[in-house]
Amino acid sequence: MPQTPHVEQHFTAGETVRDIVIGMSDGLTVPFALAAGLSGAVSSTAIIVTAGLAEIAAGSIAMGLGGYLAARSDAEHYASERRREQLEVKEKTAAEEEEVREIFASYGLTDEQSKPIVEALSKRPDAWVDFMMRFELGLEEPDPRRALRSALTIALSYIAGGLIPLSPYLLVPVARTALLISVIVTLLALLIFGYVKGHFTGTMPIRSGLQTALIGGLAAAAAFIIARLIA
Amino acid sequence: MPQTPHVEQHFTAGETVRDIVIGMSDGLTVPFALAAGLSGAVSSTAIIVTAGLAEIAAGSIAMGLGGYLAARSDAEHYASERRREQLEVKEKTAAEEEEVREIFASYGLTDEQSKPIVEALSKRPDAWVDFMMRFELGLEEPDPRRALRSALTIALSYIAGGLIPLSPYLLVPVARTALLISVIVTLLALLIFGYVKGHFTGTMPIRSGLQTALIGGLAAAAAFIIARLIA
| Contact call for residues A52 and A35 (beta carbons, < 8 A) | yes
Q: Which residues of chain A have pLDDT under 50?
A: 1-12
ipTM above 0.85, yes or no: no
pLDDT at A35: 92
Residue of A32, A107, A218 lying closest to B130 (CB–CB): A107
Q: Which residues pair with A44 in a beta bridge?
A: A174
Sort out which chain A residues have CB atoms less than 8 A from B37's CB and list them.
50-51, 54-55, 57-58
Environment class of B22 (CB within 10 Å of its CB; exposed 0-12, middle 13-18, buried 19+): buried
Q: Which of A30, A43, A56, A76 to mutate to test the interface with B (most CBs of B within 10 A)?
A: A30
Contact A150, A66 (CB under 8 A): no
Backbone angles phi, psi at A40, to 5 degrees: -80, -10
- Beta bridge partners, A228, equal none
Looking at residue A78, its pLDDT comes to 83
Indicate the residue of A11, A40, A51 with minimum beta-carbon distance to B1: A11
Residue at A49: amino acid letter: V
Cα distances (angstroms) measured from residue A17 to each of A3, A179, B77, B202: 24, 30, 17, 28
CA distances from B201 to A19, A110, A143, B50, B197 (A): 21, 36, 19, 35, 6
CA distances to A59, B38, B180 from A48, rounded to whole Å, are: 16, 10, 23
CB contact under 8 A, B25 and A66: yes
pLDDT for res B8: 37
Q: Closest-CA residue in chain B for A43? A: B47
* Angle formed at CA A133 by CA A112 and CA B122, multiple of 5 degrees: 40
pLDDT in tens, A10-39: 444 577 888 888 888 889 988 998 999 888
H, E, C per residue of chain B: CCCCCCCHHHCCCHHHHHHHHHHHHHHHHHHHHHHHHHHCCCCEHHHHHHHHHHHHHHHHHHHHHHHHHHHHHHHHHHHHHHHHHHHHHHHCHHHHHHHHHHHHHCCCCCHHHHHHHHHHHHCCHHHHHHHHHHHHCCCCCCCCCHHHHHHHHHHHHHHHHHHHHHHHHHHCCEHHHHHHHHHHHHHHHHHHHHHHHHHHHCCCHHHHHHHHHHHHHHHHHHHHHHHHHHC
- The residues, any chain, with a CB within 8 Å of residue A163's CB and separated by 6 or more, are A56
Q: Hey, what's the torsion of the CAs at B141, B142, B145, B151, to 10 degrees? A: 180
pLDDT per residue as tens, chain B (231 positions): 344 444 434 444 577 888 888 888 889 988 998 999 888 888 888 889 999 998 999 889 888 888 887 788 778 878 888 888 888 888 888 888 888 888 888 777 788 777 777 888 888 888 888 888 877 777 777 777 778 888 999 999 999 999 999 999 999 988 889 999 999 999 999 999 999 988 887 778 999 899 889 888 888 888 888 888 886
What pLDDT is stored for residue A231 in this prediction? 67
Q: Indicate the DSSP class of residue A174.
A: B
CB A223 within 8 A of CB B66: no
Q: Which residues of A touch B9 (CB under 8 A)?
A: 77, 137-139
Subunit contact A26:B62, Cβ cutoff 8 A:
yes
A51 contacts in chain B (CB < 8 Å) = 34, 37-38, 51, 227
Beta carbons within 8 Å of A180's beta carbon, 6+ residues apart = none
> Exposed, middle or buried by CB within 10 Å (0-12, 13-18, 19+), for A96?
buried
Whether the CB-CB separation of A42 and A175 falls below 8 Å is answered with yes
Task: Specify whether the CB–CB gap between A175 and B47 falls below 8 A.
Answer: no
Contact A41 B63 (CB under 8 A): no
Compute the distance between CA of residue A231 and CA of residue B169 in angstroms, rounded to an integer: 15
Cα torsion angle, A90, A92, A93, A95, sign: negative
Residue A11: predicted pLDDT: 44
**Phi, psi dihedral angles at B65 (to 5 degrees):** -65, -40
Give A29's contacts in chain B (Cβ within 8 Å): 58, 62, 66
B185 Cα to chain A: minimum distance (Å): 18
Largest CA distance in chain B: 78
Residues of B in contact with A215 (CB under 8 A): 61-62, 65-66, 69
Report the DSSP beta bridge partners of residue B174.
B44
Residues of B whose CB is below 8 A from A45:
none
User: What are the residues facing B44 on neighbouring strands?
Assistant: B174
Q: How far apart are CA A142 and CA A69, in angstroms?
A: 13
8 A C-beta contact, residue B150 and residue B117: no
Q: How far apart are CA A224 and CA B61, in angstroms?
A: 13
SS3 annotation, B178-195:
HHHHHHHHHHHHHHHHHH
